Amino acid sequence: MLACGMMSSILRVGRLFSSRARLAFIDRREFTRGLGASLGTAILGAGPRARAEVSASGHAIALRGDPALSAEFRHFPYAEPNARRGGRLVLGVQGTFDSLNPLVVNGNASEAVPHFVLQTLMMRSRDEPFTLYALLAERIELSAARDLVTFHLSPKACFADGEPVTADDVAFTFELLKAKGRPFFRAVASQVRTVKVIDGGTIAFDLQGSLNRETPLSLALLPVLPRHATDAAGFANTTLKPQLGSGPYRVDEVKPGAMIALGRNPNFWARDLPALAGFYNVDQIRYEFYRDANSLFEAFKAGLVDLRFEDEPGRWAQGYDFPAVRAGRIVRETIPIRLPAGMNGFAFNSRRDIFADKRVRLALGYLFDFEWVNANLFFGAYRRTAGFFDGSELSSIGRRASAGEMTLLAPYREEIPAEVLDGSWRPVVSDGSGRDRALDEKALSLLESAGFAASSGRLRSLRDGKPLEFEIIATSQSQERLALNYASSLSRIGITARVRRVDEVQFWRRMQRFEFDMVQFNWAASPSPGNELPNRWSSAAADREGSLNYAAVRSKAVDICIEAALDAASLSEFTDAVRALDRALIAGAYVVPLYHASESWLARSVNVLHPAYTPLFGFSVDTVWRTD
């Protein structure tokens, strides 16, 4: 077989003549470098509009500031380039899947394909807030006005079948995701004026009119699909047909809903790329799917799964006294969490009339007894979440609003309580008894002001006599247990909350269509939040099927803060915008904040090792290796 680089060159030339010629511990839903030292002037001979001035041209791009690593770096600091290669890694996943295509709204897809089979133009450093380094694109050029971004593809880049990755493939993927991809892709595409294939290895995106500074980086995280092996007509449909990619692995076997086996791609073009030194050390990766958490844990105990991040404090404290741990075949460790905590909370679907009044949402917030729950269910392992960026410089908690924040929020001052503006706001603190009558009385007072009154042991609307009742959906035993505890607290003052547990497929289908009253959801936070913000919190996303605006936030204050965060040129402007957004979201009482951990709990086979250094974004399965 021809070497990938040689085959790439031959096929690239042929194509040019013939046609003119890539969030358990892996995020299931919710990509990679910085502008190098060589800054200068270049002339683009062709493109959507020719420009003579280029602000930077290099191996990397950072959203703000400079990349940490020069073009000569040999490996990322969180990878072990001398790691042993070989063996098989088995990952356990709670849930199931009915599709291998995670790039579209339809279906419930595993992250296996986008993570290990597909590749993106550039790859994200896990140790910098938002810096991308060269991958399929070996070089990026960004105009001084940030309105033209050009990618120069590596001549070595090829798909698993040996076909080269070309600018035509990039343009094809962009148009396909623009038309049929998830809302996030379509939102990014809306910022692009035109796309120009300059030659087989060069593509330019004209961003004239876009004020979003993150768009060039979002485009750099575009997964690239092969035009010659992608069914464009049926792309939006669910499919179990493996996608051809350019990544380190390919799909070898699929058992629908139960297993996905990946094997090393023998034609992987980037095996010697410095950015990937110490990555992808195992020969095979096997995803095993389990319907419930208990089955998954039993499989791990039996040695059928190689590693797991524990999410149950009780189990971590008391559940790991079994033979494999006592014999040393399984080891436990804690890993520090360096990212913002994000928001884990009970989300109100404010599309429902019952939650349209903020006073109702505020009242229900008084009735979650974190102090009792943490002590009695979670062994005191958690901290109460307050805002949407706790534990970071982006949080408004404990900080008085700056002049920049006050300017942004000035038109909406009446909507933002004084305690939120001065940073003193915190979720209510109970007496820990599980029956704090003072908080019950505060909640009742708010509900009375919203037009509810007690009648025959239930709270009813004075307007139509309907009882205050709703449903909480859950998809795991832990979610169900917490929801039942919360429902019990609500029942003390006459509110009925029915808890319904649904399977994984039904859960995500209902979430996608906003068919729920209340749900526990965790919006993970980035140290550099940006393009995900409109999809989570903007008014435009509130009624867009497939968005993550589950709470149906429709707030002009939130919208203007999102816009300011995306447009911010300096770090101070960005920080002001995100803190102001935090205040606007807190003021809207869209969720009942729950809790977060300050460290993660990892249990692994003694034969599975990982680098000692933990980067900003935490542990990555990409850099583990086996000793056996």
Instruction: Assess contact for 299 and 103: CB atoms under 8 A.
Output: no
Can you tell me whether residue 524 is helix, strand or coil?
Answer: coil
496-501 vs 469-474, strand pairing mode:
parallel
Whether 216 and 356 share a structural domain: no
Residue 355 resides in a domain:
yes
Q: List the one residue out of 291, 219, 335 whose CA is nearest residue 505.
A: 291
Site of tokens 């816009």:
563
Above 80 in pLDDT, residue 10?
no
Whether 458 and 588 share a structural domain: yes
Residue 380 CB coordination number (10 Å): 12
**Domain finish residue from 181, 198, 229:** 229
The DSSP code sequence of 195-256 is EEEEETTEEEEE-TT---TTHHHHHHT-B---GGG--STTTTS---SPPP-SSSEEEEEEET
Query: Domain with 401 in it: what CATH number?
Result: 3.10.105.10
What is the pLDDT at residue 57? 66
Taking residues 7-18, what's their average pLDDT?
32
What is the pLDDT at residue 39? 25
Where would I find the H helices in 434-474? 437-449
Residue 252 resides in a domain:
no
Give the integer Cα–Cα distance in Å for 373 and 122. 43
Q: List the one residue out of 579, 459, 576, 511 whose CA is nearest residue 105.
A: 511
Distance of CA 213 to the CA centre of its chain: 19
**Domain finish residue from 176, 206, 229:** 229
Site of tokens 């832990």:
478
Taking residues 392-399, what's their average pLDDT?
96
Residue 336 CB coordination number (10 Å): 9
Residue 272 resides in a domain:
no
pLDDT above 70 coverage of the chain, percent: 91
What is the pLDDT at residue 55? 53
Give the integer Cα–Cα distance in Å for 328 and 309. 18
Above 60 in pLDDT, residue 32?
no
Give the integer Cα–Cα distance in Å for 318 and 363. 35
Above 50 in pLDDT, residue 52?
no
| Residue 356 pLDDT grade (very low, low, confident, very high; cuts 50, 70, 90) | very high
| Residue 299 pLDDT grade (very low, low, confident, very high; cuts 50, 70, 90) | very high
What is the pLDDT at residue 567? 86
Above 90 in pLDDT, residue 196?
yes
Least confident of 55-59, 224-228, 479-483, 583-587: 55-59
| Residue 347 pLDDT grade (very low, low, confident, very high; cuts 50, 70, 90) | very high
Can you tell me whether residue 467 is helix, strand or coil?
Answer: strand
Give the integer Cα–Cα distance in Å for 474 and 50. 54
* 4 vs 146, residue with greater confidence: 146
Domain count, the chain: 2
| Residue 394 pLDDT grade (very low, low, confident, very high; cuts 50, 70, 90) | very high
Above 80 in pLDDT, residue 1?
no
Strand positions, DSSP E, 436-544: 452-455, 458-461, 469-474, 496-501, 518-523
Residue 55: domain span: 4-22+31-64+79-229
The vertex-597 CA angle with 516 and 349, nearest 5°, equals 15
Q: Residue 156 burial by CB count (10 A; 0-12/13-18/19+): exposed, middle or buried?
A: buried
- Residues contacting 210, CB < 8 A, separation 6+: 147, 191, 192, 193
Q: Inter-axis angle of helices 293-301 and 477-491, to 10 degrees?
A: 140
Give the integer Cα–Cα distance in Å for 189 and 207. 10
Q: What's the mean per-residue pLDDT of the chain?
A: 90
DSSP letter for 46, please: S
Give the integer Cα–Cα distance in Å for 379 and 373. 9
Taking residues 435-449, what's their average pLDDT?
96
Give the integer Cα–Cα distance in Å for 176 and 110. 20
What is the pLDDT at residue 33? 26
Give the integer Cα–Cα distance in Å for 43 and 50. 8
The DSSP code sequence of 358-420 is HHHHHHHHTT--HHHHHHHHSTT--EE--SSSTTSTT--TT-PPPHHHHHHHGGGGGGS-HHH
Whether 225 and 347 share a structural domain: no
Type and span of the H or E element at 315? helix 313-318
Give the integer Cα–Cα distance in Å for 243 and 248. 13
Above 90 in pLDDT, residue 48?
no
Residue 116 resides in a domain:
yes
What is the pLDDT at residue 43? 25
Q: List the one residue out of 491, 482, 364 whose CA is nearest residue 427.
A: 364
Whether 218 and 355 share a structural domain: no
Above 70 in pLDDT, residue 142?
yes
What is the pLDDT at residue 456? 87
* Helices and strands (H and E) in the chain: how many: 18, 26
- Residues contacting 129, CB < 8 A, separation 6+: 63, 64, 526, 527, 528, 616
> What does the pLDDT look like over 217-253, one tens digit per residue?
999 999 999 999 999 999 999 999 999 999 999 999 9
Residue 291 resides in a domain:
no
**Domain finish residue from 229, 250, 270:** 229
What is the pLDDT at residue 172? 98
Residue 261 resides in a domain:
no
The vertex-626 CA angle with 625 and 628, nearest 5°, equals 160
Whether 18 and 166 share a structural domain: yes
- Residues contacting 42, CB < 8 A, separation 6+: 54, 57, 141
Give the integer Cα–Cα distance in Å for 593 and 578. 18
Instruction: Assess contact for 150 and 204: CB atoms under 8 A.
Output: yes
Instruction: Assess contact for 500 and 526: CB atoms under 8 A.
Output: no
Above 70 in pLDDT, residue 438?
yes
Distance of CA 230 to the CA centre of its chain: 25
Site of tokens 């820990």:
432
> What does the pLDDT look like over 448-471, one tens digit per residue?
999 999 998 899 999 999 999 999
What is the pLDDT at residue 120? 98
Q: How far apart are the first and last CA of the chain?
A: 30
What is the pLDDT at residue 56? 57
Whether 222 and 369 share a structural domain: no
Residue 277 resides in a domain:
no
What is the pLDDT at residue 585? 98
Above 50 in pLDDT, residue 47?
no
* 528 vs 162, residue with greater confidence: 162
Residue 281 resides in a domain:
no
Whether 177 and 53 share a structural domain: yes
Query: Domain with 55 in it: what CATH number?
Result: 3.40.190.10
What is the pLDDT at residue 211? 72
